[in-house]
Structure 1
Amino acid sequence: MRKRFTLHMLVTLLVCHYVSGFAPLVGPSPKLLHRAEKNLTRAIVHDIFSPPVASRIYLYANVAAYETLVMGDKNYQTLHGQIAHFPDIAGLKKDEKINYELAAVYAFLKTGGKLVFSEHLLTDSVNVILNDFREKDTLVYNNSIKLGQAVSDSILTWSAKDNYALTRAKRRYTYSKQKGKWTPTPPGFIDAVEPYWSQIRPVSLDSAGQFKPVAPHAYNTDTASLFMREVREVYNVTGKLSKEQILIASFWDCNPFYLNTQGHLNFATKKLSPGGHWISIAGQAAESKGKNWQETAAAYVLTSMALFDGFISCWDEKYRSQFIRPETVINAYMDEKWRPLLQTPPFPEYTSGHSVISTAAAVVLTAILGDNFVFDDNTETPYGLPVRRFKSFRDASDEAAISRLYGGIHFRSAIVNGQVQGERIGQHLLSRIKVKR
């Protein structure tokens, strides 16, 4: 077992290549930030955070890194004045001699560490993450660490006012007894996940319901109804899936808590969240194009904002419509033994979370890195799935959306309308938040 150190002790052992004076952002590639992102994802997976909560962790950690780097780059601007109640990071007292790269990674790790349960998973590997820092000037090193800590403290103070703590104290969710409303599904019949997430303070949205989608098809079990047509589509599609469709569904499953059942034995398989998958895509894309520190941090922070606001908007609709899942309807009216390819998530069906957040993230990444951006996505290789190639971010988000039909856990209207919802969120974010001056 590796010996554990505190974050500060490990960073103290590591020094960066600057020897004195102001340390401009012209150092090594931002691979250290990429490593920090992967390590945060590892902690999120280990702690089994729900997709909405995971998006919150990514948001604040990436904001901390971005805001630190902004201080050393006049081509980019702070989020202060663009986001309501955002702290004035630039107003923090800072010394003249600072390595902003070191400060940014430190701010990222300290912020992320305070938002996960297993903070030690971040501190255990700091020596690897920050291996390329070789600071021989103790003054620059100390100033950088101090600044990173100050930024982290400021962002954590801001995060504490987003209503997250209040949603932890809410009463247990009460299920509707009306026909067509969502109820927990097999095999675990898990309680509703984050039913009050719409009360979380958004970043760019004016309110959780700003981009409220059209209502789902009315619940109607008449065989000629629009609703039952969608039910039959799910049943028919899942009954004749090709190998490629099965692979697509599995690749985008992103179920952080897959419940395995063997007789009376239940155990979970941990995987990264949908947001974690898109954070990974943002990192891979930025790295493939050789983006510098500030460009990479901007890609991460805008993607995390799109995910965060996307989950708030989507969850607002989920618990407004409280729509029934395909599994429940098919078991009741068509085939009581039918099970979807993917495990049905423990929250209402409409709209599709993957469709909303994937589209929002794709809109942002397309604006940053361009359309027709061909990339290989290796996010799922640790889980035994092959690398997939996409011809654009939109191509990837479209595949993520339709994967929910192949998986048997969403109706088509939830997918299509979720994509519209995500598109509006992404475009709105880009119109409200500007990173470059």
Structure 2
Amino acid sequence: MKAKIFLLGIVILFLTSCKKEKSIVITANDYCSAVDTVTGIMVHDIFSPPVASRIYVYPNVAAYEIIAQNSNKYESLQGQLKGLDSIPVLDPKSGVNQKLAALIAHMEISKQLIFSEQALEKYRDSLYEKWGSENQKEFEVSKDYALKVVDRIKAWMGKDNYKQTRTFPKYSVHTDQAGRWQPTPPAYMDGVEPHWGEIRTLVMDSASQFKPKAPHPFSTDKNSLFYKEAKETYDVGNEMSKKLLAIENAKTNVIPEESAIATFWDCNPYATVTQGHMMFAKKKNTPDAHWINITKIALKKTKSNFETTVFAYTKASIGIFESFISCWHEKYRTNVIRPETYINLYIDENWKPQLQTPPFPEYTSGHSVVSSCSSIILTSIFGDNFSYIDDSEIPFGLPKRSFQSFKQAASEASISRLYGGIHYRAAIENGVVQGTNIGNYINSKIKFFKSK
């Protein structure tokens, strides 16, 4: 009897040792959660819109390159994005869980680009502990491969001229030259990222490839195009103020549509609030974060799988990155005065826009460029007339808005700059053309899918 029990024990021990551990399951929701975590940290750290675009693009490219390894569907971006090559080859027999490795690479690259590293490390370490307990061997081999890719991406992004621009001189304000941009109230901040146009592009030939038509020549002549555009911004702002006052007097909660649009698309991480002698930041999404969240909304609605999720985030973030380089190159090349400054000097010294004026030159409108480019790219992924409900601004106390297409949303985001009093019409309309051209170029230039 004892011999039988002993043999049974050996058989059970043998079967247990031979039992194959289950593979770690990584879903599209896991990737979206990681992106959302990075977005939350960026809002806390108050990154400028151009820098935020850099924080989005490199982690997504890292993840994309991992899922493209040995894929029958997705084409590697090596040789397509400037300077990107030598991604470590993945042995199909290595036991690497590619979804897991892609998510690890995303988090590790993100950690290199933010300030609050501990917040991301806490999020990452909790996942590492979970994955290690599920399948230690698979976790370790996947992590090892991910870190090899991370090293390559770090070397690549380290050559994009970002570090060099940190040492370049600040923007010089020339108050003696009429028509040039000047710092605006209430914080009177220095010009943000005056050298962003010198960052290496990924797809465009150069920052000036899609240079928009020139802005109207500066003039204080009431018959000039420049004055007329400033007067339009002034008049629109006054009309909105009248509507808001009427609603306030009527004691209703109804907000004029133009005002609601302006507030929804504000996306100014530099907005400040003054209380007595204190001034503090009113933290908000950047335009990048808003469109990245729209990407997530589309992915959720279509119930996209992990690979499609990584692809969509990557293509969208490339468009956003290129848009900011192109737009910022134009902003500091033309140095156009903001409506608030012009109107206070030449039309009405007491006028204020509904939105706080962001701390950089006026031409072209950044939101117009980024939104138009993003709408072109997302349309290429999800199709025309893709209706959705945008809840991006709920964390900041704003209601949802419904859209029938990405292009409708981009159009609304663009005109919001006129309603908000922070841009002239030319900067909006020419910014739309600029962003549309960038989006179309990325669609035609970058090959994400292998030929069938």
Other-structure match for 2:387? 374
5 Å-filtered alignment, 1:315-394, equals 315-394=328-407
Q: Which amino acid aligns with 2:446?
A: I
5 Å-filtered alignment, 1:194-205, equals 194-205=193-204
Q: CA offsets per residue over residues 53-108 of structure 1, 9 Å max, x none? A: 00001001111111111125321011101112102215367861011111111100
Other-structure match for 1:39? 37
Residue 131 of structure 1 and its aligned partner are, at CA, apart by 9.6
Other-structure match for 2:434? 421
Other-structure match for 1:251? 264
Q: 1:364 to 1:130 in 2, by over 3 A?
A: farther
Q: 1:356 to 1:395 in 2, by over 3 A?
A: same
Residue 257 of structure 1 and its aligned partner are, at CA, apart by 1.9
Instruction: State the secondary structure of the residue aligned to 2:408.
Output: helix
5 Å-filtered alignment, 1:202-217, equals 202-217=201-216
Give the conservation status (yes or no) of the 8 Å contact 2:344–2:350: yes
- 1:186 maps to 2:199: no
Residue 187 of structure 1 and its aligned partner are, at CA, apart by 0.7
Instruction: State the secondary structure of the residue aligned to 1:179.
Output: coil
Other-structure match for 1:286? 299
Residue 418 of structure 1 and its aligned partner are, at CA, apart by 0.1
Gap runs ≥5 in structure 1? 1-17
- 1:430 maps to 2:429: no
Give the conservation status (yes or no) of the 8 Å contact 1:202–1:208: yes
TM-score calculated relative to the size of structure 1: 0.92
Query: 1:134 and 1:124 mapped to 2: Cα distance?
Result: 15
Give the conservation status (yes or no) of the 8 Å contact 1:306–1:360: yes
- 1:96 maps to 2:94: yes
Other-structure match for 1:12? none
Q: Which amino acid aligns with 1:203?
A: L
Query: 2:74 and 2:21 mapped to 1: Cα distance?
Result: 24
Residue 137 of structure 1 and its aligned partner are, at CA, apart by 3.4
Residue 135 of structure 1 and its aligned partner are, at CA, apart by 6.7
Query: 1:287 and 1:281 mapped to 2: Cα distance?
Result: 10
Other-structure match for 1:115? 113
Q: 1:310 to 1:185 in 2, by over 3 A?
A: same
Question: Normalized per residue, which structure has more helix?
Answer: 2
- 1:148 maps to 2:178: no
Which of 261, 265, 275 aligns to 2:278? It is 265
Residue 340 of structure 1 and its aligned partner are, at CA, apart by 0.6
Instruction: State the secondary structure of the residue aligned to 1:239.
Output: helix
Q: CA offsets per residue over residues 309-344 of structure 1, 9 Å max, x none? A: 000000010001000000011101111111110000
Which of 49, 54, 58 aligns to 2:47? It is 49
Instruction: State the secondary structure of the residue aligned to 1:214.
Output: coil
Query: 1:246 and 1:425 mapped to 2: Cα distance?
Result: 29
Q: Which amino acid aligns with 2:232?
A: E
Q: Which amino acid aligns with 1:293?
A: F
Which of 76, 80, 83 aligns to 2:81? It is 83
Other-structure match for 1:172? 170
Instruction: State the secondary structure of the residue aligned to 1:344.
Output: coil
Residue 127 of structure 1 and its aligned partner are, at CA, apart by 6.4
Query: 2:232 and 2:348 mapped to 1: Cα distance?
Result: 14
Q: 1:150 to 1:401 in 2, by over 3 A?
A: same
| Number of aligned residue pairs | 417
Give the conservation status (yes or no) of the 8 Å contact 2:26–2:100: no
Which of 137, 161, 165 aligns to 1:163? It is 161
Query: 1:162 and 1:306 mapped to 2: Cα distance?
Result: 16
Other-structure match for 1:226? 225
Give the conservation status (yes or no) of the 8 Å contact 1:72–1:100: no
Give the conservation status (yes or no) of the 8 Å contact 1:32–1:132: no
Q: Which amino acid aligns with 1:166?
A: Q
Query: 2:126 and 2:35 mapped to 1: Cα distance?
Result: 13
- 1:274 maps to 2:287: yes
Give the conservation status (yes or no) of the 8 Å contact 2:327–2:364: yes
Stretch deviating more after TM superposition (99-108 or 118-127): 118-127
Give the conservation status (yes or no) of the 8 Å contact 1:187–1:259: yes
Q: CA offsets per residue over residues 129-160 of structure 1, 9 Å max, x none? A: 68985874322111111112111221111100
Query: 1:180 and 1:167 mapped to 2: Cα distance?
Result: 26
Q: Which amino acid aligns with 1:325?
A: R
Q: Percent identity?
A: 46
Query: 2:47 and 2:196 mapped to 1: Cα distance?
Result: 14
Residue 279 of structure 1 and its aligned partner are, at CA, apart by 0.6
Instruction: State the secondary structure of the residue aligned to 2:236.
Output: helix
Query: 1:19 and 1:239 mapped to 2: Cα distance?
Result: 71
Query: 2:383 and 2:40 mapped to 1: Cα distance?
Result: 29
Query: 1:130 and 1:403 mapped to 2: Cα distance?
Result: 43
Query: 1:352 and 1:129 mapped to 2: Cα distance?
Result: 40
Give the conservation status (yes or no) of the 8 Å contact 2:335–2:363: yes
Which of 61, 66, 69 aligns to 2:67? It is 69
Instruction: State the secondary structure of the residue aligned to 2:392.
Output: coil
Instruction: State the secondary structure of the residue aligned to 1:261.
Output: strand
Q: 1:365 to 1:346 in 2, by over 3 A?
A: same
Give the conservation status (yes or no) of the 8 Å contact 1:28–1:132: no
Give the conservation status (yes or no) of the 8 Å contact 1:20–1:140: no
Q: Which amino acid aligns with 2:263?
A: S
Residue 387 of structure 1 and its aligned partner are, at CA, apart by 0.9
